[in-house]
Structures are given as structure tokens and as C-alpha cells.
Structure 1
Amino acid sequence: MTSRCVVVGGGPAGMMAGLLLARQGVDVTVLEKHGDFLRDFRGDTVHPSTLRIIEELGMIDEFLRIPHSKVSTITVQTPAGPTVFADFARIRGTHPYIAFMPQWDVLDFLARKGRELDTFRLLQKAEATGVVREGDRVRGVRAVTPDGPLEVRADLVLAADGRHSAMRRSVGLPVSASAAPMDVLWFRLSREPGETMSFLHTGPGFVLVTIDRGEYWQIAYVIPQGAYETVRAEGLDRLHADVASVHGPFAARLGREITDWDHVKLLSVRVDRLRTWHRPGLLCIGDAAHAMSPAGGVGINLAVQDAVAAARMLGPVLRAGRTPDRRELAAVQRRRSLPVRAVQTAQVHMLADLYPKDRRTTVERPLAARVVRRFPFLTRWTAQFIGVGLRPEHVD
């Protein structure tokens, strides 16, 4: 099989890049290893900058018919009291909020819009395992499918296959890793009608993030990096007690709904980035280029922004029938490196004291919360940084 561009990975970066390139008339094949997009506890935040991209594509009214909830402020609750950390209502734009929308619905929407175009092809249950080379140049990918091996030849491979990218391993791209400040245990609890919660709470040895999903709460129980085995040894009773200490009505629901560790999913947080995102014929974007902490859900925003930049900068080259050269691939990395570095610096250093250091200590007065409490005007800046980011991208 041949295609002008093959995109590896059907996540936010891959699906957005495939759709945008196909809209430019570039023949695109997207390879997704799963048969559907139904994965629980994926990042489900749609930031103002992503909503603006959807609006620029003329799809916003249809997109917002997907069931979702809106968050206009992020409030941090510590023993020192509540602090509004980010106020999205104060940023400019027609969508000054974060939309919490199941990622599978977002990906289904992008896939459906892509399939409306003759230049878009999505192959599911097709797991890319390595690249096709000619000399030092990547000329496509090899994949396994239920029907047997598949080889897709292309002028450009866009690797959007996540933080454990097989594509970046196959071409030997070196990774620079930073110490992540936490790990996360995800689970869900049913939600009572009208029940409200602050977004983030601190406690002894944990931080709790609660996301309103309408019928249920998606809950992140944040623990010190590498402490999962300690948490399991302490038992579910400790987890139940910690969560109930934040919101008493959770106690009965925990006893009914979280009865086994199988109900709790571990996310081992990884923060890293490639020193070089490209090889001749291949470019990494999204988590394949830079794995982020889940803090603020900004990894999805950065992945979408990468896709928009790559499609805008490389689409005309591919449409002209030419393979992007090293200089053109490097230009995409230069364009996106500043936002990535800024967010990772904030996650690893500036927000490090927001997360627990051990299983005994309570985070009482994190520096970021103290600064924002003293200078409330900064809530607009933090919302801009989280929701829009540095160097936001546009479709055209």
C-alpha cells in the first residue's frame, strides 16, 4: 500500500494531523492498533485552544453537541483554605473554559470527519511495529493486522504513537527524561445529582483530583512517585479513608464500588522529550515526542497543537509531491519546542511542591497557590498558560 503520508497512532495528535492533512488534499493513512477508541481514564480535557481549532474548521456547533461538562475555574483546596488557581473566564476567546469530554467521543468525531474526505483512510487493528528504510531514509512502516502483515510506503511518517512509541525506538531517537513528581491511581465513583466538588484537594500523603463526568466522578488519587507498592501494602482501607476524608458522602460509595484493586488503574507518570524529533522521512509529534505529566491535562493540548503545526507547515510540501527535507522537519520541532519546554519546566519544578513527597506529609501551602492567592490577577495568566499555552497554533 502507498500513501503520501502515514500517521502512526489514532490519538488526539494522530487523528487531528490526519484530518488536517486530508483537508489539504494530501493522501493520508492513519494506523490505529485498537479496533475502537474506548479506553478508560484517558485524558479527556479539551482546552480553549483546541476548541478554537475546531471552530476554525467550521465544526464547533456539531462538536459541542457531544455530551460534556465545562470547567471555568480550577480551585485548589488545602488545609490553608481554597485558592482559585486558574480562571478561564478571564481569558480571551469564544470558549473560555475547559470542556471535559470523553476522549473516545472526540476521536470518533475526528475519524467521522476524516472519513468524509476521499484523501483520508483510517485502518484500525493495524499495529505499526517498525519502519521501512531505504538507506538512511524512512520510506514507510510495517504493521501487523488480523489479515496478516501490512507495509505502507509513504513520503512522510508522522509518529503519533504515544509515550512508548515503537516508531521512535525503531529509528533510535534519544530521549531526555526528567524526574516526574508523582504517580496517579485512577478510579470512578457514582455522582449524586447536584453534587459539587473543588477540583483539587490535598491530604496526608495524597492529592485528590475530582472530575465531574455527569453520572460519575473520575478521580485521580495522586501519590508520591514510585509509591504504588507501598499504597497497595497499606490496603484499600487506607485509600477509602483518604478519599472519604475529603468528601464524607464518598465513604458508602467506596465500600460498594471500589472493592478490589482491579477497580483502580495505575498511571506511572513519565516526563520526557526527544532531543531530536525527526529522521529523514519521519517526524514525531505529541507524546511520541514529549511525554507530559497529567497535570492540567496539557499533554492533549500540546499534542493537538503539534498536529496543527505539522499539518500547516508540511502539508503544502506533501501536496506538491515532495518529501519534506531535514530542514523542514526541524522547523516543526523548533516551532513546538518552546511550549513543550515551558510546560515541562512548570510540571517538574514550579508545581513540584503541589504533590506529596511521602505517605505521611500533607501539602499545606504549595508555593504556586500562595503566589496566586497573594496576586489574584495571576489567575488569568495561569488559565492562559494551561488553556491556550505559549505559541498557540492556527489551522491557516
Structure 2
Amino acid sequence: MTSDIPVNPAHDIVDVQTTDCCIVGGGPAGVVLALLLARQGIPVMLLETHKDFDRDFRGDTIHPSVMEIMQELGLSDRLLQLPHTKMHQIRMQTPQETVVMADFSHLKTSYPYITMLPQVKFLEFIIQEAQKYPNFQLVMGANVQELIESDGVIQGVRYRGGGGWHEVRAILTIGADGRHSKLRQLGGFESIETSPPMDVLWFRLPRHPEDPQGGVGRIGQGRIMAMLDRGIEWQIAYVIPKGGYHEIRTSGLPALKDSIVEIAPELSDRIEHLQDWLQIAFLSVESSFVKRWYRQGMLLIGDAAHVMSPVGGVGINYAIQDAVVAANILSKPLKNRHVGLNDLAKVQRQRELPTRIIQAFQTLIQKQIFTPILSSNRIFQPPMLLRLPILRDIPARLIGLGVFPVHVQT
């Protein structure tokens, strides 16, 4: 719909549109929230800054918690028709032994495994479902630059794209634009940062048919590496000490390749596929949380509200749980065309404790396992709790299902 609301004279506005909920960010949290609201007949506009959803080295792990949400939406069977693999355990292989870090097969769920599915395929699948509803609108290439604010109330956004400036006026604006959230910056939200002791190099190497399925972690003297099954390729995370990227680049690519083969000798017959630093993505690992997720007319969810470490691969799943809780709480106020601060605060109250608990769990893993390995050449000795099968269910529960179950309300 076209709005007759006066526009900012500082910009040459191409058009002004109105909707009930404007979601900025087409990641897992944004697309799932858009689908949930559209299913209830709520007008929703999703703005994504890129021209497509294909991003390199995004989280590709869909945990049992999300599969149960997909089941409640009647989508799980069709989602699993997409090419994927399953990981029933998280295993770490040392030169001496293989240690099971988490065993999902004991979880009380219809999906006792991690589904390995390229995130682009998941996002496209959810978008296709949302597009079945006439009240859903997707705008690609929408680079949000400004918030629209009046008397302290956020009333929408201005974005560049499609030949100029555009405005979207909304009852509620959702920031779901990830760890480098523009809306978090524009809204002036205070973020508390932690300092994980590691960074990650991401790259891919061919996977042979006889290779193990799912994924496996490798621990050597002073090194950690995770190998994730992506069908014909291994997606590999090579963990390095925080701030160590410059030293690795200075040492040169041959030295890095030698180090990779030393920790995973089976890759020696394919390591030559790694020919250039352009094939390697550097991820500066961060972890943080926003003290208050909301302002009048605006809410942050997912990594925009709480940046997750990649430990356990839980970021996508906690972001989707945020989206489900937001839809459960805010659908009725949106239908009544008034979303109050109490409604927004309720979303944070339900989601803050689970995210803080999982972040504390990630910090524990980083300090008790990652830091000792990366800071010395001593042989890694797995914590005693990982040798007791009954205790392995604790990390499996936290990683696979989350702290509290989240369900779609109808």
C-alpha cells in the first residue's frame, strides 16, 4: 500500500509503503518470523540487503529443536526431502582416541540428530512457504540506512535500493540482521561483549564417498579442527588463537596446509585443492548480548540481540526460537494494531535466560577445552564428564533442544 505520510525532505523518496511488521534481515530468525506472522494474516514486509540468500560459510546445522518447530508447522517432511546429511553425535578425535562430546540419539524427540543442510536451501524453503500468503512481501537488495522515529517511537525504516530511497512505515520494526546488526547500531542499543579465546578459518576440501558421514572434530597438539559433511565437500573450521591470523598469513599457505594434514592425515590426498588465501574465510569469533532488546516500536532478535560463538553450532537454532516466541507473544498485539513496551519486554524475558545459559555453556567449553589446547602442545585429556555416557546427555540436550522447549502457538 502507498502511504500519504509526509517524507523526510532530505531524501528523494521513491515511494512510501506501510505494513504492520517490518522485519530487517533475511536470515533464519527473520524468515521464520515472517512466515509465522504471514500465516496469521498479519501484513509483514521482509527487507534483505543482499540480492540472494547464498552466503559462504553460514551455519548449516538444523538442530532437533528447529525440526520440531518445522513439524508443528507441517513442514518437516518436505524439508527433509532436500539433500541433507545427519549427525547423530559430536565426536572429537585425538591422536590417542575418539571422544563423544554429545550424543543426540538419546534425546526424546522425533529428530535425534543434527540435520546438515545448507542454510541457503533452508532460507529459500521458508521464503517459498511465506510467499504463499498474500500479506507477505519480500524486498531484496534493501539496504536499510535510517530509522523513522517520532517522539521516541520507532515507526519504520528508510532503505536504499531499487533506484533510490524508500520508506517503510510499520507498527513494529524487527531487527533480525545478524551479528553486525545495522539496526542495533541505529537504535543505540547497548551491547555487552565477551572475548572468546579463538578465531576460525573456514575452507572446503573434497569429500570422498568412503569418508565418514556427518562430521568429526580433530584435536592435535595445539590445534583444533572441525570437519562438517556437505555431501561432496567437507566444510572445515580450523580454530586458531585469538589474534593469530596475521602470524598464520605471515607463515604462508604451505605451512597452514602442512598443519592441516598433520591433524587430519587423510586429507593429504586433497590438500592441494587449497591453492589461494581467497579460498579461506576468516571469522573473528565474537560473543555478546544486548542489555535491553527493545525500544518503543522496535525489537531485536537472534544475533542482533545476542551474538553467539560458533561452539555447538547453536546460533541458527536459538535465533529461530526467538522468532517463534516473538510470533507467539506479538501476533495478538499486532492484530490489535498496538504493540506496547510490555509486549516487547515479555519476548526478552522468555528468551534472555536461555540465551545467557547457552552462552555460559559455550564460554565454559572455550575456557576448559579450547584455551588449554590452543595455548600449549600438551596432549589433550578429555574432561572426565565426557567419559560418562549419562553426562554426555547434558551438552546434547543444551545443543540439540535448548534450555526450554519452544512451541508454535496457534
TM-score range, shorter chain: over 0.9
CA distance in 2, matches of 1:377, 1:188: 34
- Paired AA for residue 133 in structure 1: E
Which residue number corresponds to residue 187 of structure 1? 203
Conserved? CA contact 1:78–1:363, under 8 Å: no
Conserved? CA contact 1:80–1:365, under 8 Å: no
CA distance in 2, matches of 1:119, 1:81: 55
CA distance in 1, matches of 2:119, 2:132: 20
Q: Does 1:351 align with 2:366?
A: yes
CA distance in 1, matches of 2:354, 2:81: 30
Cα distance change, pair 245–279 in 1 and its aligned pair in 2 (3 A): same
CA distance in 2, matches of 1:163, 1:300: 12
Q: Does 1:5 align with 2:21?
A: yes
Which residue number corresponds to residue 204 of structure 1? 221
Q: Quote the offset at 1:260 in angstroms.
A: 1.2
CA distance in 2, matches of 1:252, 1:381: 37
Unaligned stretches of 5+ residues in structure 2: 1-16
Which residue number corresponds to residue 372 of structure 1? 386
**Equivalent residue for 2:238, pick from 209, 221, 230:** 221
- Secondary structure at the aligned position of 1:199 is classed as strand
CA distance in 1, matches of 2:364, 2:64: 25
Cα distance change, pair 116–363 in 1 and its aligned pair in 2 (3 A): farther
Q: Quote the offset at 1:362 in angstroms.
A: 3.7
Q: Does 1:30 align with 2:46?
A: yes
Query: What does 1:107-186 correspond to in 2, within 5 Å?
Result: 107-186=123-202
CA distance in 2, matches of 1:112, 1:363: 50
CA distance in 1, matches of 2:175, 2:206: 37
Cα distance change, pair 364–25 in 1 and its aligned pair in 2 (3 A): farther
Output the aligned Cα RMSD: 1.5
Conserved? CA contact 1:115–1:121, under 8 Å: yes
Q: Quote the offset at 1:78 in angstroms.
A: 2.4
Q: Does 1:384 align with 2:397?
A: yes
CA distance in 2, matches of 1:357, 1:383: 22
Conserved? CA contact 1:353–1:363, under 8 Å: no
Which residue number corresponds to residue 230 of structure 1? 247
Q: Quote the offset at 1:125 in angstroms.
A: 0.6
Which residue number corresponds to residue 332 of structure 1? 347
CA distance in 2, matches of 1:16, 1:321: 21
Q: Does 1:276 align with 2:292?
A: yes
Q: Quote the offset at 1:204 in angstroms.
A: 3.0
Q: Quote the offset at 1:357 in angstroms.
A: 5.7
Query: What does 1:297-312 correspond to in 2, within 5 Å?
Result: 297-312=313-328
Cα distance change, pair 233–330 in 1 and its aligned pair in 2 (3 A): same
Conserved? CA contact 1:181–1:348, under 8 Å: no
Q: Quote the offset at 1:30 in angstroms.
A: 0.2
Which residue number corresponds to residue 393 of structure 1? 406
Cα distance change, pair 378–357 in 1 and its aligned pair in 2 (3 A): closer
Conserved? CA contact 1:203–1:242, under 8 Å: no
CA distance in 1, matches of 2:25, 2:405: 23
CA distance in 1, matches of 2:146, 2:363: 32
CA distance in 1, matches of 2:50, 2:129: 19
Q: Quote the offset at 1:360 in angstroms.
A: 6.5
- Farther off after superposition, 378-387 or 211-220: 378-387
Conserved? CA contact 1:223–1:356, under 8 Å: no
CA distance in 2, matches of 1:46, 1:83: 22
CA distance in 2, matches of 1:41, 1:362: 29
- Per-residue displacement from partner, 1:160-185 (whole Å, max 9, x unpaired)? 01111111111111000011121000
Query: What does 1:281-320 correspond to in 2, within 5 Å?
Result: 281-320=297-336
Cα distance change, pair 167–310 in 1 and its aligned pair in 2 (3 A): same
Cα distance change, pair 361–318 in 1 and its aligned pair in 2 (3 A): same
Unaligned stretches of 5+ residues in structure 1: none
Identity, in percent, stands at 41
CA distance in 1, matches of 2:310, 2:107: 22
Query: What does 1:19-58 correspond to in 2, within 5 Å?
Result: 19-58=35-74
- Paired AA for residue 385 in structure 2: V
Q: Does 1:105 align with 2:121?
A: yes
CA distance in 2, matches of 1:251, 1:35: 37
- Paired AA for residue 349 in structure 1: L
Which residue number corresponds to residue 252 of structure 1? 269
- Paired AA for residue 360 in structure 2: T
Q: Quote the offset at 1:145 in angstroms.
A: 0.6
Q: Quote the offset at 1:358 in angstroms.
A: 8.0
Say how many residue pairs are matched: 392
Q: Quote the offset at 1:363 in angstroms.
A: 6.2
CA distance in 2, matches of 1:365, 1:376: 19
Conserved? CA contact 1:70–1:100, under 8 Å: yes
- What is the TM-score with the length of structure 1 in the denominator? 0.96
Conserved? CA contact 2:91–2:102, under 8 Å: yes
Query: What does 1:90-101 correspond to in 2, within 5 Å?
Result: 90-101=106-117
Q: Quote the offset at 1:233 in angstroms.
A: 1.3
